[in-house]
Structure 1
Amino acid sequence: MSDVFIALQTNEESRYIVEALLQDNPNAVVDEQPAMVKINVPHSLVLKRETMEELIGRPYDLQEMQVHLITLSGHVDEDEDEFRLAWND
């Protein structure tokens, strides 16, 4: 199975998203570039609303992340509590 990835703009809020992704995906690999941060994860990636809320100290709608999104690779499955990225078999 291939890796999935998500690339985000480099800015203050995406710093929290990256931190949450690293907490929720311990096997994630970070590729920092001048204008973006790319997170590669084997098989599947998850971002939990609860993790984001703990980090930023306020309610968080996972769709807020899309403002900072550059690109992604994988199939998206999301609800109000989790954003998942994976390749469907």
Structure 2
Amino acid sequence: MSTAFIALQDVDEARPLVEAAEKDNDGLQLEHHPAMVRMVRDKEIVIRRETVEEITGRDWEPQDIHLVLISVGGNIDEGDDYFRVYWNN
């Protein structure tokens, strides 16, 4: 099975995204590096708008992830309510 990853800047704006990913993706592993948090999981990682908004108490647009995004491993699927990185195999 292929491993998906999302690497974000380790800044205040990214912390709710990491927390939301932990809530919505069982088995998600975090790797902390200087100035970066890398989220790793088999097959897919989904960050849901609803979960981020619940954590922050304010509106969040999934496209806003690009402000703190460093890199991804996998295919990207973006919708109005989620940001998803996945592998088909």
The answer to whether the superposition gives a TM-score over 0.5 is: yes
Measure, in 2, the Cα distance between the counterparts of 1:82 and 1:63: 9
Q: TM-score, normalised by structure 2?
A: 0.95
Matched, 1:81 2:73: no
Q: TM-score, normalised by structure 1?
A: 0.95
Q: CA deviation at 1:52?
A: 0.4
Corresponding residue number in structure 2 for 1:3: 3
Q: Give secondary structure in 2 for the equivalent of 1:7.
A: strand
Q: CA deviation at 1:15?
A: 0.8
Q: Give secondary structure in 2 for the equivalent of 1:12.
A: coil
Matched, 1:27 2:27: yes
Q: After the TM superposition, which parts of structure 1 deviate over 3 Å for at least 4 consecutive aligned residues?
A: none
CA RMSD of aligned residues (A): 0.8
Question: What is the letter of the counterpart of residue 51 of structure 1?
Answer: T
Question: What is the letter of the counterpart of residue 5 of structure 1?
Answer: F
Measure, in 2, the Cα distance between the counterparts of 1:40 and 1:62: 19
Matched, 1:50 2:76: no
Measure, in 2, the Cα distance between the counterparts of 1:32 and 1:72: 15
Q: Give secondary structure in 2 for the equivalent of 1:27.
A: coil
Measure, in 1, the Cα distance between the counterparts of 2:26 and 2:13: 20
Contact 2:43 2:88 in 1 (8 A): no
Work out the number of aligned pairs and report it: 89
Question: What is the letter of the counterpart of residue 11 of structure 1?
Answer: V
Task: Determine what percentage of the aligned residue pairs are the same residue.
Answer: 42
Measure, in 2, the Cα distance between the counterparts of 1:2 and 1:79: 22
Q: Give secondary structure in 1 for the equivalent of 2:58.
A: coil
Structure 1 residue runs without a partner (length 5+): none
